[in-house]
Amino acid sequence: MQGLGELESAAMDVLWRASEARTVREVLEALNRDLAYTTVLTVLDHLHSKGWVEREKRSRAYCYTPALSREEAAARAMRNLLADVGDPEGVLLHFARSASEGERDALRRGLRKRS
């Protein structure tokens, strides 16, 4: 995801796939990497500071949940990319021309719902 490092993206993926809040220990286990507990704690703390995750204290540990769905985060990244280019209309038109039929159908449905 744009704006996230490799380990931050991996931690977000764990949280997005989870059906409920996860502790640092649970995220560490799901990452299935040779990492220190404090490394994952720091990553989740950074994600909280950046507004990517919310946390709630339970007993002595924080439990983390995504602040945005994966789809909302992707849409925010797209919005940021469009803001950074000189011709956002050109980018959108190029995307529309190169989109698959399924993607074009999804765009049409989304635009109809917005109206």
80 φ/ψ angles, rounded to the nearest 5 degrees: -65, -40
How big is the CA angle at 77 (ends 6 and 98), to the nearest 5 degrees?
Answer: 105
Lowest mean pLDDT among 23-32, 33-42, 56-65, 103-112: 103-112
Percentage, residues of the chain above pLDDT 90: 62
Q: Would the pLDDT of 25 be above 70?
A: yes
Q: Would the pLDDT of 1 be above 70?
A: no
Q: Quickly list H helices, 1-115.
A: 6-17, 24-31, 37-49, 70-84, 88-98, 101-114
